[in-house]
Structure 1
Amino acid sequence: MILHLKTAVAQNYIAILEGFDRDLFKALSPLFPRLKIIRFDGSMPGDRVEIELQAGPLRQRWTSLITERQVTDQAAWFTDQGQELPPPLRFWRHQHLVTKEQGHSCIHDIIEFKTGARLLDLLVYPVLYFQFKQRAPIYRRVFGHVVKS
């Protein structure tokens, strides 16, 4: 299944890509489940991100590997690929894409995920949608609001 969320922000797309650091990662963390950052290398190919999801006494490990990073004259992105995933996820690929727009930039969260069962994918989709939709106001606070004329 693919989930694509888009947020318009004021800063330059290359500056935004550089802003994807540990502090932003922590700020973007969902309210539930809580997460503990175990390792955050960055957003370059070969970098690893390891977190522990915490829901009461339940602890689940999530490890992702940064598999690509590109900068063009119109867009910049990096992709993290799930290596160790919490159930029910069996596949995870998240492209953090920032596009250059007329007078602003757009941050795209493009997530491909699979649980192994179509019905379960459909049930997980709205949970992920709302968790990632919560990123929009944080992106705008960190990278600036787009003022419409």
Structure 2
Amino acid sequence: MKLIIETQVEQKYLQVKKGFDESLFTKLSPPFPPVKLLRFDGSSKGDLVSLELNFIFFKQKWTSEIIEDQTNEKEFYFIDKGTELPFFLKKWTHKHRIIKNGENAIIRDEIDYQAPFMLLTWLLYPAMLLQFAYRKPIYKKIFN
């Protein structure tokens, strides 16, 4: 299943790129499930990000590897791929794009995920949409 969310911000794309750090990652974590950051190497190829999701009665580990990153005159992006996923996900790829838009930038999240079975993939869509829509006002507050 593919999900795309865009947020226009009022900073230059290379300035926004500098702000994509551990502090931002922590601020983007939604209220539920609570997230504990276990490891954050950065957003360059080969870096790892690992976290623990707390679902009250049980915890799940989620680790992603940055498999690609690039900066050019039009955009910066990096792609994280899930290597250790919670039970409800079979596949996870997330392309984080910061696209030049005149003097401003567009932050674009392109998510491709799959659950262990198709019905769950569809059932997860509203939750995924909410999780990433939650980021929009945070991006605007930080990068405006």
**What TM-score does the superposition give when structure 2 sets the normalisation length?**
0.97
The within-5 A match list for 1:25-64 is 25-64=25-64
Equivalent position of 1:97 in the other structure: 97
Equivalent position of 2:3 in the other structure: 3
Q: How many positions carry a matched residue from both structures?
A: 144
CA distance in 1, matches of 2:120, 2:13: 35
CA distance in 1, matches of 2:42, 2:36: 16
CA distance in 2, matches of 1:113, 1:104: 29
CA distance in 2, matches of 1:63, 1:72: 27
- List alignment gaps of at least 5 residues for structure 1: 145-149
Equivalent position of 1:128 in the other structure: 128
What SS class does the counterpart of residue 44 from structure 2 fall into? coil
CA distance in 2, matches of 1:16, 1:2: 24
Cα deviations across residues 101-138 of structure 1 (Å, max 9, x unaligned)? 13311000100001132221110011000011000000
Q: 99-108 or 131-140: which moved more?
A: 99-108
What SS class does the counterpart of residue 70 from structure 2 fall into? strand
The within-5 A match list for 1:68-147 is 68-144=68-144
Structure 1 runs of 4+ with >3 Å offset: none
- Backbone CA RMSD of aligned residues: 0.9
- List alignment gaps of at least 5 residues for structure 2: none
**What TM-score does the superposition give when structure 1 sets the normalisation length?**
0.94
CA distance in 2, matches of 1:39, 1:75: 26
What SS class does the counterpart of residue 50 from structure 2 fall into? strand
1:48 is matched by which residue type in structure 2? L
2:5 is matched by which residue type in structure 1? L
